């Protein structure tokens, strides 16, 4: 199957792209590989299969990476985490847009 997200990110005038990585180990290493290989603007990564967070749990945490930065979103209810991630995506989108306009 084609990698749709990588294809969209590779478009000459592609949109701001955000990927997601659910990993069982080496979270940072695997997320950064995906960020760079797919040429994404951001990737949100979380550990799954552990004692907390992940699938079938009310709470989760994320590590979010972009080419020149990162932010940790701590364990919180998934609805609050979604709001925090949306705020961060907007922040990074506006920062990238303003740097391209300069």
pLDDT, averaged in runs of 10, over the chain (102 residues): 93 94 92 96 89 72 96 95 98 88 66
Cα–Cα–Cα angle for 54, 57, 59, rounded to 5 degrees: 80
Is residue 46 within 8 A of residue 71, CB to CB? The reply is: no
Where is 76: in which H helix or E strand? strand 69-77
Q: What local confidence, expressed as pLDDT, does residue 54 receive?
A: 59
**Which pTM does this prediction carry?**
0.88
CA distance 16 to 40: 8
CA distance 75 to 96: 27
Is residue 75 within 8 A of residue 59, CB to CB? The reply is: yes
Structure tokens at 8: 């969209």
Q: What local confidence, expressed as pLDDT, does residue 52 receive?
A: 61
Where is 31: in which H helix or E strand? helix 27-37
Q: What local confidence, expressed as pLDDT, does residue 64 receive?
A: 98
């Amino acid at each position: 199957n084609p990698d749709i997200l990588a294809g969209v990110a590779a478009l000459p005038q592609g949109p701001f792209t955000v990927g997601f990585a659910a990993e069982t180990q080496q979270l940072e290493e695997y997320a950064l590989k995906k960020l760079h290989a797919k040429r994404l603007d951001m990737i949100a990564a979380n550990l799954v299969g552990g004692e907390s967070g992940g699938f079938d749990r009310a709470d989760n945490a994320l590590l979010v990476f972009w080419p020149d930065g990162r932010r940790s979103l701590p364990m919180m209810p998934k609805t609050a985490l979604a709001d925090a991630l949306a705020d961060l995506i907007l922040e990074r989108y506006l920062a990238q847009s303003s740097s391209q306009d300069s």
